Structure 1
Amino acid sequence: MRFRAPRSVSSSPVRGPTHRNSYGLASDSDSEDYNSELESSFHDSDIDDDISVASSSSSSSSSHNLVSNIGQLSIRPKHIKRTPQEERLIEETVSAIRARAKYHDPYEEWEHEARRDAFREARKQFTEKEIQLMTERERLNDEREKRRLADHEWETEQVRGKLKVFVQKVEEIDKALIEGWKARDQALWDRVELAIKQEEDKVARKLEEERKLQEEEDRLRKEIELKRKLAAEKREREEAKRKEEEEKRARLEKEQQEQAQKEKDEAKKKIDDDIALRTRLRLATPAEDWAVARNNLQMLKNGPLAWVKEHKPQKSEWSAMRRQITPKIGQLTNDLGQINRITQQIIDVMQAADRSAERNSVYPSLASSLAKAILLQAETEVVAEKRAAIPLAQVTFNLLQVLPDFGSIFFSKLVQRSGGWPIPIVVPNHDNEKRPWKSNEEFTKVSGWRKSSSGDGSESPEEHVNRISALMRVYFNILKLSCASSNLYDMFQMPRCWIWFARIMNNKQLLDDPLAAQLIYIGLDVLGFDALKIFGNQWVKMLMLVNNVATDGFDDGKLLGGDTPIGAAACARVKLAIESILKGEQS
């Protein structure tokens, strides 16, 4: 790029006078000796110097080429002879080229100076323009920053206003929930007091009936003794009245038999009423819960799963949907927005399976895969970080509210992965059909033991405790969330907390297991404060019972969790958790 600038005030230089001819040649009157000197000068170093000067000057490249060509002319074969006129022409040409190559042209120097002055002027103008642009840019930046700060202040005020409205709404919701909890607690206590009063009235009536019966038996016995004493004196009258007495005795025996039969019927009716009450309240025995979970699992394996695996179109559909669900479970974090988004995505996939042509097979199979993905994620994430159970429990709770039949499938898979601990129950030595287990490996797998993650053998006691603890922490968090909803499968209702603690405290074989102490601690850590609000003083009694078992032991001094290091550490954590709950210090 060239900068143009006005010419300086100095006038353009004038070239000097020219030579006698275009090449500045010498006259023809030179001596003949010039030819010999020219020929010898072609081999001197002066020619090389002149050529190098000519190449570095501002002359054109054609002059350099001409000199080079002339240098080549000096190298001629010896058999070629030139005339003196040819030699003189060559010498004059070389002299002219030398003179022109060394000539200093004032016009070119003036043009060079003019270009340099133009460059200085252009650089000065460029600097001034650049300073002006930078000043304008700074002014625009200042104005833009002021506008940004004003916009930010306005947005801050808007956010503060919305946040204030949101806080007020949250406080109103919390107040309504607290009032609902208080009303529910009062209603629960009223039902408990009513049941206690009814039981006391039943016992009082039974004691009164037994007292009257005893008094009647004593009176009859005294009458018989009196009659025996007066038998000698009143033999005649007794003979006359013997038939009447025998009839009276037969009537009395009949009445006694009727009374005994009546009492027997009342006892049977009471047992039937108790069974009906347990059925109405959905209170089953641990063996019944175990049988239901095992039956659901076997029906799922031998029914929908087996059918889907045997039919390629349905298997492809099931596999494609399963690949959509599994990565979503692995993306969970403790963020409400992400939890709701992933939950909705899973529900969409499950509803697509529910609308499938083979809904009775594809949907249960996909629900089983979803439950397995959640449990495997719990075994992986919750073992490393217990807070990871919260988003898993939240997603599972949301799915349990929406997806049909997912509750029974999820609980059966939970029992499959953790044995009898969710019920809790000691795993029996036979299946539901009273068939003994085929092998020790089958019994070990049914009991919740799996292969070690670090090798081919069975998992170590520490790995087993950590894995089952992770699964049960998710389960207890689901029970905690169920306080806000009653539209769940029975095994995920909050009363299962009381049933679980009551069953495990009534089973000495479970209490001797180190895992029992760890699971009791997890239950107290997750549900302790919520259970205290719901069950009140009855929960305090339960806590005192657990504390006595952990402190004084059971069954001739056995402590909770046994004498293993794992059990001892878990037992210590149980006592600390109970102390924190009673003090109101939530962990």
Structure 2
Amino acid sequence: MRYGLPRSPSPSPERQHTRSSSTFGVQSDSESDPDGPYTDSDTESSVSSLSSDSFCYDSESEVPPPPPRPKREFRSPAERRHAEETVAAIRLRTRYHDPYEEWEKQTRKDAFHTARKEQSQTRTETFEQHTLRRSQELQHLGAVHAQQVAEVQKHLADIQMRQQEGIRRLTEMWKEQDKKQRDRIEAIIKLEEDKLRAKLEAERKAREEEEARRRAEEKLRKDEEEKKRVEEEQRRKQKEAEEEDKRQEEERERQRQDRLKAEEEGRNQVGMTFAEEDWVHARETLKNLKAGPMKTVKGNPQLKRNWNELRRRITPKVGQLTNDPESIREISTFLFHVVHPSPPLPSDVYFALLSSLSKAILLQAETEVTAEKRSAIPLAQVAALLLGKLEGFADIFFAKLVQRCGGWPIPSVIPSTDSDGSAWSNENDRTKAMGYRTSDGQKESLSEYVMRVSGIMRVYFLILVAPVRQPLDKMFQLPRFWAYFARIMGDARLLDTAVAAEVIHAALDVGGLEARSVWGQQWVKLLELLYEGATKGIGGGKTLGGQSPEGKAARMRVQLEIERIMQAPT
């Protein structure tokens, strides 16, 4: 692109004058003589005008020949001189250096360079803007394209998922139909196979039954012969064994009777009895209580109403007991006046209330002592106070104690026959006699039985060592503590149970230190024997408590309790 600048008027007066008067120093046609000679310039002007007015021909042959040059007239010396001066002036003019023209030329050149620079800069900026705009457009187009590609891909993925879901449903439908058809075919095949197999099996069983019947008849004949021979041999051996057992039993009974006769006077003087005798006495007391006063009271509406009213006053009062001397004295007095009011109650109601009082104390021991051992202390003190004041309460309380704990208060193994020598009517009766609770024909677990019995026995041992103002019944005196350990240490069947270990631990925890101060070295020897049974084992290597988890835990507590007693200062 070219840029033009307007030509400014010349500041030179001389130039302006020259341009106005004459061109290149020659006078204008207006100043010349109109009748002057015809010059070459006029000829050139004429030719130029002719050339400007000419037109184009189709070929050179159509171009007319140039007009003949007019014959120039002969010039005079003055004319020739004038022409020469004119030519000299023109030459001089062409060699003249005009500063304005140079300035104007340089100005045009600078303007041209400036215009080219600005044009280049503008083109560069425009190109950069176009490039930036193009890159932005490309980025935008790329983002739009990526978005469109993502949408297309998502759409394709949805189509593919729907296609796969359709294929999956069709496949599952086909598999289900194929499975149904296969199952139907297999069922038909199996049915036919079962029919054939049943037929073959029936035939085989018939053959086997025939063969078995034949072998059975033969074996039966041989077994009968062998059975007769074995029965004869067993009868002979059994008869010999029974005779031997009878002889040994008679010998043991004779020795026992001799020993009992020899010790009868001494045992009567100190009031000692055998464990079996204590269990029979407690069992018979319980039976007489149920068959006598309890049956009478429950059968008489008036007595039963009176009994229930007083019984409902006993149970909550026992539950309010705390380990406080004032509370123990107040509740003991209240219970005494309930059971032994003035005027006194009928004998049947009195003994029924003694049974209810015993049951309330023992139930409270089962529920509270298993959770907190110290709660056994006020229960034992209240029981000890009432045992010394209420007539007949000792026998009933001990009978209820044996009912709730089995033979452990004695201690003794429950025999295979009842107290009257008759066989137990069923195993459930013997289970109840052993102190187990039953629910829906199922007896309680060993852990529950151990915790319940140990809680009740802790109350019993606290009664044995409780300080009282007057002697209690022989079953609740301190010598029973020594007799208890002597009996349980002499029966390996008791020591092999988890209950024995837990009960022994409760006894040692309650009265171990007091027994040491009472019986001294004899008690230490008994503890040594008990410690050996807890560590090494007794009676054929059997350890105290057996191998149950409850027995192992109780055995370890017994060891720790014996060590505590032996390390305590005397």
Instruction: Specify the TM-score bucket, using the shorter chain as the normaliser.
Output: 0.5 to 0.7
CA gap 1:268/1:517 in 2 versus in 1, 3 angstroms: closer
Task: Report the secondary structure of 2:438's partner residue.
Answer: coil
Determine the structure 1 residue equivalent to 2:299.
310
CA gap 1:549/1:354 in 2 versus in 1, 3 angstroms: farther
> In 1, Cα distance between the equivalents of 2:483 and 2:371?
29
**Residue among 432, 454, 457 paired with 1:469:** 454
Determine the structure 2 residue equivalent to 1:428.
415
> In 2, Cα distance between the equivalents of 1:325 and 1:302?
23
The alpha-carbon deviation at position 276 of structure 1 amounts to 1.2
CA displacement, residues 115-143 of structure 1 (integer Å, 9 cap, x when unaligned): xxxxxxxxxxxxxxxxxxxxxxxxxxxxx
The alpha-carbon deviation at position 458 of structure 1 amounts to 2.2
What TM-score, normalized to structure 2? Answer: 0.54
Amino acid at match of 1:274: E
> In 2, Cα distance between the equivalents of 1:580 and 1:451?
38
Amino acid at match of 1:321: L
> In 1, Cα distance between the equivalents of 2:371 and 2:469?
30
Task: Report the secondary structure of 2:408's partner residue.
Answer: coil
Q: Confirm or deny: 8 A CA contact 1:353 1:362 kept in the other structure.
A: no
Task: Report the secondary structure of 2:327's partner residue.
Answer: helix
Q: Confirm or deny: 8 A CA contact 1:518 1:567 kept in the other structure.
A: yes
Determine the structure 2 residue equivalent to 1:333.
322
> In 1, Cα distance between the equivalents of 2:523 and 2:469?
21
Q: Confirm or deny: 8 A CA contact 1:353 1:366 kept in the other structure.
A: no
Determine the structure 1 residue equivalent to 2:428.
441
> In 2, Cα distance between the equivalents of 1:582 and 1:269?
39
The alpha-carbon deviation at position 433 of structure 1 amounts to 1.6
Q: Confirm or deny: 8 A CA contact 1:354 1:363 kept in the other structure.
A: no
CA displacement, residues 92-121 of structure 1 (integer Å, 9 cap, x when unaligned): xxxxxxxxxxxxxxxxxxxxxxxxxxxxxx
Q: 5+ residue gaps in structure 2?
A: 1-255
> In 1, Cα distance between the equivalents of 2:259 and 2:463?
36
Task: Report the secondary structure of 2:566's partner residue.
Answer: helix
Question: Does 2:523 align with 1:526?
Answer: no
CA gap 1:496/1:334 in 2 versus in 1, 3 angstroms: same
Amino acid at match of 1:290: W
The alpha-carbon deviation at position 558 of structure 1 amounts to 1.0
CA displacement, residues 158-198 of structure 1 (integer Å, 9 cap, x when unaligned): xxxxxxxxxxxxxxxxxxxxxxxxxxxxxxxxxxxxxxxxx
Task: Report the secondary structure of 1:384's partner residue.
Answer: coil
Question: Does 2:505 align with 1:516?
Answer: no
CA displacement, residues 9-62 of structure 1 (integer Å, 9 cap, x when unaligned): xxxxxxxxxxxxxxxxxxxxxxxxxxxxxxxxxxxxxxxxxxxxxxxxxxxxxx
Determine the structure 1 residue equivalent to 2:560.
576
Question: Does 2:362 align with 1:378?
Answer: no
**Residue among 353, 362, 365 paired with 1:366:** 353
> In 1, Cα distance between the equivalents of 2:356 and 2:296?
15
Determine the structure 2 residue equivalent to 1:492.
476
CA gap 1:313/1:510 in 2 versus in 1, 3 angstroms: same
Amino acid at match of 2:531: N
> In 2, Cα distance between the equivalents of 1:476 and 1:493?
10
> In 1, Cα distance between the equivalents of 2:314 and 2:259?
51
Question: Does 2:261 align with 1:276?
Answer: no
Amino acid at match of 2:534: A
> In 2, Cα distance between the equivalents of 1:545 and 1:584?
19
Amino acid at match of 2:334: Q
Q: 5+ residue gaps in structure 1?
A: 1-266
CA gap 1:361/1:274 in 2 versus in 1, 3 angstroms: same
> In 1, Cα distance between the equivalents of 2:530 and 2:331?
39
Task: Report the secondary structure of 1:431's partner residue.
Answer: coil
Q: Confirm or deny: 8 A CA contact 1:407 1:489 kept in the other structure.
A: yes
Amino acid at match of 1:391: P
User: Between the two proteins, what is the percent identity of the paired residues?
Assistant: 46
Determine the structure 2 residue equivalent to 1:179.
none
> In 1, Cα distance between the equivalents of 2:504 and 2:560?
12
Q: Confirm or deny: 8 A CA contact 1:430 1:437 kept in the other structure.
A: yes
Q: CA RMSD in A?
A: 1.9
Once the two structures are superposed, the pairs formed by residues 137-152 of structure 1 within 5 Å of their partners are none
The alpha-carbon deviation at position 585 of structure 1 amounts to 6.9
The alpha-carbon deviation at position 555 of structure 1 amounts to 2.1
Amino acid at match of 1:441: N
- How many pairs does the alignment contain? 315
What TM-score, normalized to structure 1? Answer: 0.52
> In 2, Cα distance between the equivalents of 1:534 and 1:282?
19
The alpha-carbon deviation at position 424 of structure 1 amounts to 0.3
Determine the structure 1 residue equivalent to 2:485.
501
Q: Confirm or deny: 8 A CA contact 1:486 1:493 kept in the other structure.
A: no
Question: Does 2:410 align with 1:415?
Answer: no
Return the index of the structure with the highest Cα Rg: 2
Q: Confirm or deny: 8 A CA contact 2:388 2:470 kept in the other structure.
A: no
Determine the structure 1 residue equivalent to 2:126.
none
CA gap 1:354/1:578 in 2 versus in 1, 3 angstroms: farther
